[in-house]
Amino acid sequence: MSGADGVLLLDKPPGYSSTQALARVKRALAARRAGHTGTLDPFATGLLPIALGEATKFSRFLIDSDKAYVATIRLGFTSSTGDIEGVITEVEDSRSPTLADVNGVIAEFRGAITQVPPMHSALRVGGQRLYDLARAGVELPREPRAVVIKALEILEFSGEMLLISVKCSKGTYIRVLAEDMGKRLGCGGYLVALRRTASGPFSIDGAATLDDVQARGADVAAKLLPVEALVSELPRVELSRDAARSLLHGQRPAAMPDALPGESAVYGPGGHFLGVARAEGGRWLAVRMMGAAAVAP
């Protein structure tokens, strides 16, 4: 089991940081290498894809993918952290928004928007995590960042509680979205609950629970998704046996004349996944490759 290479779709429970959940999976599966593909806050739940073995080489391709969430926002209150882990304050003299109000504001947040990263985040400034600075009472100016809200819908609305579904680009802070929507409504808002339902091509459907992984380690390891699942959104290119061998040994075989620009998932004979390469100057340039022992071109 220690040689497992692949992707585990984990349904992270509340109360665990992504790093803590990763450590438990790594221990349960006796994995030599493991990494998660996008942080979830401890109070949040849902899909946390975990790369094992050779799959850790390709984690960034999922980190860069779109994500989907279901989020619960409490209106009429604010939080010092934007979520349930902060100090909660009621907004005095605020008008309770109507469904029409919420629909109007929702429309304003679809598409390309900017967000100011929260102090309670894992971003580094001067080598320090922002959340460490925030805990020390330090607040620094942060530059707005461009993100894209690709879908934003109301699922339920009860006056104080607003349940939404969100599909967004990488780097989107749902806590900031909740706060910004609350500000725009004039009543304040913070995130009560957050569940990630999709990451890139992966869905929460069928994801393993942490209890299941710890109780049935060997059985779970046998059902890992293949490494190439992490790059399934890239164009697929089939290489000849000679080209595959050359690429694996650090050489630059000739690319097909119609090779697409950008990165592609490359495969050898028999459908063996080799890694990720890009066409450059009429030749293939390795970007990230599987270990030679992991493929048989």
Residue ranges of domains in the chain, CATH in brackets: 6-65+201-230 (3.30.2350.10), 67-199 (3.30.2350.10), 234-294 (2.30.130.10)
Segment (H or E) for 162:
strand 161-168
Q: Specify the 3-state DSSP secondary structure of 114.
A: strand
**Confidence band of 122 (pLDDT split at 50, 70, 90):** low
- Can you give the pLDDT at residue 3? 59
CB 162 within 8 A of CB 43: no
What does DSSP assign to residue 249? T
Prediction pTM value: 0.90
Q: Taking Cα atoms as reference points, which of 59, 48, 45 lies closest to residue 25? A: 48
Give CA angle at 149 (98, 66), nearest 5°. 140
124-125 and 128-129: which strand pairing? Answer: antiparallel
Query: Interior CA angle at 168 toward 90 and 130, to 5°?
Result: 60
- Residue 1: pLDDT band (50, 70, 90) is very low
Distance CA 68, CA 47 (A): 9
Q: Is 54 helix (H, G, I), strand (E, B) or coil?
A: helix
Instruction: Decide if 101 is catalytic.
Output: no
CA separation for the pair 214, 23 (Å, rounded) = 11
Query: Residue 92 above 70 pLDDT?
Result: yes
- How does pLDDT run across 38-48, given as a tens digit for each residue? 889 999 999 99
Average pLDDT for the chain = 90
The pLDDT, as a whole number, for residue 292 is 60
Confidence of residue 258 (pLDDT cuts 50, 70, 90): confident
What per-residue confidence (pLDDT) applies to 257?
Answer: 74
**132 against 256, higher pLDDT:** 256
Fill in the amino acid letter for 51. Answer: A
Q: What are phi and psi of 262, to 5 degrees?
A: 85, -170
| Residue 72 backbone phi and psi in degrees, to 5 | -110, 125
The mean pLDDT value for 63-69 works out to 94
CB atoms within 10 A of CB 5: 20
| Torsion (CA) 129, 71, 82, 37 in degrees, nearest 10 | 0
In whole angstroms, give the CA distance from residue 46 to residue 34.
18
Among candidate residues 41, 66, 83, 258, the one labeled active-site is 41
Residue 255: name the closest of 290, 287, 280, 288 by CA. 280
